[in-house]
Amino acid sequence: MNFERIPRVTRLLDPRKDYAETRIESEMRMDPLTGFSGRIAHFAAGPWPTMDLEALNQTSLSQGCPFCPDMVSKVTPKFPEEITSQGRFRQGEAIVFPNLSPYDAHSAVTVITKAHLVPVNEFSAQHWEDALGISIEYFRAVRHYENHIGYGLIGANYMPMAGASLLHPHLQIYATDRPGNWLKSQIEASQRYYNEHAHIFWQDLIEAEKSLEERYLASTGTVEWIVPFVPLSFIGDVEAIFPRRFTILDLTPEDIGAFSQGLLYILRYMKDTNIYSFNLAFYPGQSEGDRTWVHARISFRGMINPVLHSPDVSVIRQLLDEPFTTVYPEKTATELKPYFSSL
């Protein structure tokens, strides 16, 4: 397992030190699976300011919300009979209905909670177990109808800074034979790795991270947690790996419970550090032949300058397709680890 780092040192005459020469370190890193590169420039991001969530809540409610309990059964679409005779899928507070702006032929939305605004520390593990569990039930129904689902993708934009158009917590889920550029390159690299080493990359990754003790966090039941070597977020990512699970339909209720518990620890960390927003994506294969264990990434989102509402995606990410982060993953892991030791 090659964790390749390319350190750089910049020399400059620093106005903050009466123009004395200062050396500033930065780093490039290569993803050990795909070789995809990222940059770490450790500048003074954070501490992050608190946000007035209630003001945001009121603004968003004034627009009306199709996902609130009094509206969701009236204004959201229903599935045709061949997917479910019930119209929509429900489990606990979660409800799944077709996406009016579909990403593919089978494309749906899962509303996670009855509450319109849920601060990160107010989710329960049950919320996520129900939302993810019923999303997988939807994929089962698609498979029953189509005999296959391709890749069963689950993603979330939680809160506006992560791209959510509505405050009400929800997932985007769709079945597709086109997994998208990122997952496609991971699968191709996982297959290459398997052909060269006769091992699953993801198994070797967990073993390498466990022995290094730099970015490994913990296991929660059947799920392993690490901080990725190359973050995609400007303030940090966390990755969950589901050993020996190849497709989204391989995930058991036990796996989903274990994931939801770990996610709760991360949400508590977010609360304590004033991180209000994240993206979540599951990366499944479509069969064992993809040689990819299901994994999921939580990517923290925020504004690079909250005062000016500057988004965290700028030219380097948008047009040069290179992630840029301000926090070393090893620091993120050190901060997160105590939250997992409350196991």
Q: Would you give the distance in Å from CA 265 to the centre of its chain?
A: 14
* Minimum distance from residue 167 beta carbon to Zn ion (Å): 7
Is 106 a binder of Zn ion (CB under 5 A)? no
Torsion of Cα atoms, 288 then 221 then 123 then 234, to 10°: -60
Q: Considering the complex, what minimum distance in angstroms separates the CB of residue 73 from Zn ion?
A: 13
Instruction: Specify the residue for token string 């229903």.
Output: 78
Q: What is the 3-state secondary structure (H, E, C) of 221-238?
A: CCEEEECCCCCCCCCCEE
Q: Is 68 in the site for Zn ion (CB under 5 A)?
A: yes
Question: Can you tell me which of 67, 89, 225, 339 binds Zn ion, judged by CB under 5 A?
Answer: 67
230, 323 Cβ separation under 8 angstroms? yes
Phi, psi of 178 (to 5 degrees): -115, 100
CB of 72 to Zn ion, least distance (A): 8
Q: Does 72 bind Zn ion (CB under 5 A)?
A: no
Q: Distances from the Cα of 328 to the Cαs of 154, 179, 231, 236, 334, in angstroms?
A: 27, 29, 9, 8, 10
Closer to Zn ion by Cβ: residue 67 or 216: 67
Nearer to Zn ion, 67 or 139 (CB): 67
Which of the residues 110 through 169 are near Zn ion (CB under 5 A)? 116, 168
Min CB(58)–Zn ion separation in Å: 12
Nearer residue to Zn ion within complex by CB, 76 or 299? 76
**How many residues at the interface with Zn ion, by CB under 5 A?**
5
For Zn ion, which is the closer residue by CB, 162 or 327? 162
Q: Quick check: 137 and 91 in contact, CB under 8 A?
A: yes
**Binding segment for Zn ion among 8-16, 109-117, 135-143, 322-330 (CB under 5 A)?**
109-117
Backbone phi, then psi, for 22, in 5-degree steps? -125, 145
Residues forming the site for Zn ion (CB under 5 A): 65, 67-68, 116, 168
